[in-house]
Amino acid sequence: MSATDHTHVRPWRHIERRKSRQIRVGNVLVGGDAPISVQSMTNTLTSDSEATLAQIRALEAAGADIVRVSCPDVDSTRALKTIVQQSNVPIVADIHFHYKRAIEAAEAGAACLRINPGNIGSPDRVREVVQAAKDHGCSMRIGVNAGSLEKDLMEKYGEPCPEAMVESALFHANILRDHDFHEFKISVKASDVFLTVAAYTALADAIDCPLHIGVTEAGPLRVGTIKSAIGLGNLLWAGIGDTIRVSLAADPVEEIKVGYDLLKSLGLRHRGVNIIACPSCARQGFNVIETVATLEERLAHITKPMSLSIIGCVVNGPGEALYTDVGFTGGGAGAGMIYMGGKPHHKQDNAGMIDHIVELVEAHAEKL
Ligand code: SF4
């Protein structure tokens, strides 16, 4: 982190993370003091390994730490072997009910199985799945969803509520513990942000395993991002959450971008250029909105954490530049001021400013 970064630690900016047990999802540590990982899910046919791998590559390039793929049939678990071999990130196999798919996925090299042991069926089947996970070094995720709670819990509680979701999660967790299996994380997702936050908050008190957090079926890009920012933002701010998935009805790459932006906003993780920009107004010395959109695109390849301020005029420009690695503040007569490390550095014509700023940011990232 640079000394001028907005994320500079202050007591009122510090989030105390809940102390969870640490597990492994392939080579990614989840829980404990491991960085909060960002994950997404492919929406291609898993049986089409080429299309699935292309999407995984795009997710990897956006910074995904973990990727989940659905395994609804035997063609998918067959393709999973190739997918796992050619992916650089650990792959989670999403299984519902079919214990054989879970065993096949473990054998194919999945790093983690998303499965609810209480839904697998007979105790023998559960034992077989847990054994396959143990044999192949797989962890598991218990995924409780408000929309698919067990019938008995719906009868007991009448509707999806935090108590029912926690009870369901603990029911599945106890099955794994009874089989002496402890490499698991849990999610208790709902599409309602209040229910999501209340369920995770109660679960965080009830168990020490790492938590995979998300607002499920959050919706399209804008609304889904806002719901996720409220739900996940509340949880993360309270120190809850070891790995996140933003669920959007949009390109999965957007889920990774939003996930990082969320973590960046809370100073929990840093990746790439954090652009600080004003909304612009009649005082702007250049077209702020167009410039920021172009810079965002041209600087997407930078992975090192750094900050850049692009401010329309001197009202807020110098103040914002003070805390960023590189800054540009609009001025009069078609030129503005470049700031480096918070200090005014040199004048720059608006005409060549984008190329120049890209060069400065790239050079600064090289040095980090
Ligand atoms: S910094 Fe200047 S240009 Fe930007 S919104 Fe404020 S007054 Fe307007």
Query: From ligand 1's centre to the CA of 312, what distance in Å?
Result: 5
Query: In angstroms, rounded to a whole number, what is the distance separating the alpha carbons of residues 51 and 2?
Result: 39
pLDDT for the residue numbered 9: 66
The answer, yes or no, to whether any atom of ligand 1 lies below 6 A from the CB of 281, is: yes
7-265 has CATH 3.20.20.20 classification: yes
The answer, yes or no, to whether any atom of ligand 1 lies below 6 A from the CB of 315, is: yes
Q: In ligand 1, which atom is closest to the CA atom of 279?
A: 5
Using pLDDT thresholds of 50, 70 and 90, give the confidence band for residue 235. Answer: very high
Query: In angstroms, rounded to a whole number, what is the distance separating the alpha carbons of residues 149 and 22?
Result: 27
Q: Give the chain's mean pLDDT.
A: 95
The answer, yes or no, to whether any atom of ligand 1 lies below 6 A from the CB of 37, is: no
pLDDT for the residue numbered 280: 96
Q: Pick the range with the lowest mean pLDDT from 107-111, 229-233, 319-323.
A: 319-323
Per-residue burial over 38-58, b if 16 or more Cβ lie within 10 Å, else e, is bbbbbebbbbbbeebbebbbb
pLDDT for the residue numbered 1: 44
Per-residue burial over 118-157, b if 16 or more Cβ lie within 10 Å, else e, is bebeeeebbebbbebbeebebbbbbbbbbeebbeebeeee
Q: In ligand 1, which atom is closest to the CA atom of 282?
A: 8
Q: In what order do the strands lie in the sheet with 37-41?
A: 184-189, 139-145, 112-114, 91-94, 66-70, 37-41, 243-245, 212-213
DSSP, collapsed to helix, strand or coil, labels residue 274 as strand
Closest CA to 136 of 80, 66, 186: 80
Query: From ligand 1's centre to the CA of 291, what distance in Å?
Result: 14
Region 7-19: mean pLDDT is: 83
Provide the percentage of residues in the chain whose pLDDT is more than 70: 98
Query: In angstroms, rounded to a whole number, what is the distance separating the alpha carbons of residues 127 and 92?
Result: 20
Closest CA to 224 of 186, 199, 191: 191
Q: Whose CA is closest to atom 2 on ligand 1?
A: 313
Query: From ligand 1's centre to the CA of 292, what distance in Å?
Result: 14
Q: Whose CA is closest to atom 5 on ligand 1?
A: 280
Using pLDDT thresholds of 50, 70 and 90, give the confidence band for residue 119. Answer: confident
The answer, yes or no, to whether any atom of ligand 1 lies below 6 A from the CB of 278, is: yes
> Quick one: DSSP state of residue 111?
S
Taking phi over 0 as left and psi of -120 to 50 as alpha, with beta for the rest, 43 belongs to alpha
Fold of 273-367: Sulfite Reductase Hemoprotein; domain 1 (3.30.413)
Query: Is a pLDDT exceeding 50 seen at residue 265?
Result: yes
Name residue 140's beta-bridge partners.
Answer: 113, 184
The answer, yes or no, to whether any atom of ligand 1 lies below 6 A from the CB of 280, is: yes
DSSP, collapsed to helix, strand or coil, labels residue 339 as strand
Query: In angstroms, rounded to a whole number, what is the distance separating the alpha carbons of residues 181 and 194?
Result: 31
Query: Is a pLDDT exceeding 60 seen at residue 343?
Result: yes
Domain parsing of the chain, residue ranges? 7-265, 273-367
pTM equals: 0.92
Instruction: Please give the structure tokens belonging to residue 83.
Output: 């997918």
The answer, yes or no, to whether any atom of ligand 1 lies below 6 A from the CB of 316, is: yes
Instruction: Yes or no: say if 80 and 91 are a contact pair by the CB < 8 Å rule.
Output: yes
Tell me the pLDDT tens digit for each residue of 239-255.
Answer: 999 999 999 999 999 99
Instruction: Please give the structure tokens belonging to residue 94.
Output: 């999403």
Query: Is a pLDDT exceeding 60 seen at residue 365?
Result: yes
Tell me the pLDDT tens digit for each residue of 121-153.
Answer: 888 999 999 999 999 999 999 999 999 999 999
The answer, yes or no, to whether any atom of ligand 1 lies below 6 A from the CB of 313, is: yes
Q: In ligand 1, which atom is closest to the CA atom of 283?
A: 3
